[in-house]
Amino acid sequence: MVASFAATALLAAPSVQVRSGAERSPSREELRALLFQVVANQHRNDEALLEYERIERHRSFRGSSEESAVKEDKTYRVFPTGTGTIRVLLRDGDRLVPPAQIQQHLEGVVRELERAQNPSSDVQRPKVERFEKRRRERHQTVDAAREAFLARWLGREQRNGRTLASILLEPNPDFRPPNRIAAAFQSVRAVVWIDEPTAQLVRAEAEIFKDISFGGGILGKLYRGGTFVIEQTEVAPGIWLPARYEFDYRGRRFLFGFSVHEQIDISDYRRLGPPAEALVTLRRELAAQRPAGVAQ
């Protein structure tokens, strides 16, 4: 849930032509228009992500910094399936997963993609319904962020060879959240860095400045001081997808406390397309890996 805060912490408004340039700051209308376009682009990026495989390295730490001892370090190949994703483990710490085991898991991905070809089946229909519900909820939450935050221009700065707009997002006191997730925006502030020419989110840093309670605090709570970072990169013309997530927060589920200190680095994006196209590609890959004379 914390992961959705910064990713959706963007403000939108009616479209106005934006004039970019390092020599001047945008007007209020231009700033709102820029953020409106960022939201629209983020919707497109979210849809594109459903068609890209990638490599993800998940590292969790015992403390809140990279200098802390590593608890877990795993690398996955991640496949979209039309109703979610499947992660195939490639490396666990210093141990490489045997090729035969990886191939076995890839065959499982192929079977899932085959099931996706019949979305109305008894097996697949509940998956499709759950996925579409999550999809609608995310879209609604992103749109709710249009009114959830007030934007303040901070300036422009150089990051990795790009001149990026820096914008502070703070809770709008007049916001009336439409759902439980959107209500958490009232306890979050964020700074976002935007590539103005493309109107794409490059980086966001969000902070929980006030405890967030769930179920009146009975179900759980996220404590103030938690942070979340997302970085995005251009993987294809006009498509910007996540390159890194950083989580650092503490909370409580019922009576049990927990803490999360995790980094996820994402690379090697490759478009597989919708499940029917992905199925063809993976079948070819598996066929090329089989020794000559071995039947499928």
Token couple for 80: 């979209």
Residue 176 is classified by DSSP as -
Q: Of the ranges 61-65, 122-126, 139-143, which is most confident?
A: 122-126
Residue 119 lies in a domain: yes
From CA 10, how far away is CA 32, in angstroms rounded?
Answer: 10
Res. 13: pLDDT tops 70: no
Residue 296 lies in a domain: no
pLDDT of amino acid 177: 82
Number of domains in the chain: 1
**Whether the Cβ atoms of residue 240 and residue 226 lie closer than 8 Å to each other:** no
Q: Using one digit for the tens of pLDDT, what is the confidence trace for 172-196? A: 999 888 777 778 888 999 999 999 9
Residue 35 lies in a domain: yes
Residue 281 lies in a domain: yes
Residue 295 lies in a domain: no
From CA 204, how far away is CA 196, in angstroms rounded?
Answer: 15
194: containing domain = 2-21+28-289
Residue 185 lies in a domain: yes
pLDDT of amino acid 289: 83
Residue 294 lies in a domain: no
Q: What is the CA radius of gyration of the chain?
A: 21
Q: Using one digit for the tens of pLDDT, what is the confidence trace for 83-140? A: 999 999 999 999 999 999 999 999 999 999 999 999 999 999 999 999 999 998 888 8
Alpha-helical segments (H) within the chain: 2-8, 28-49, 99-115, 124-148, 180-183, 275-289
pLDDT of amino acid 140: 84
pLDDT of amino acid 3: 43
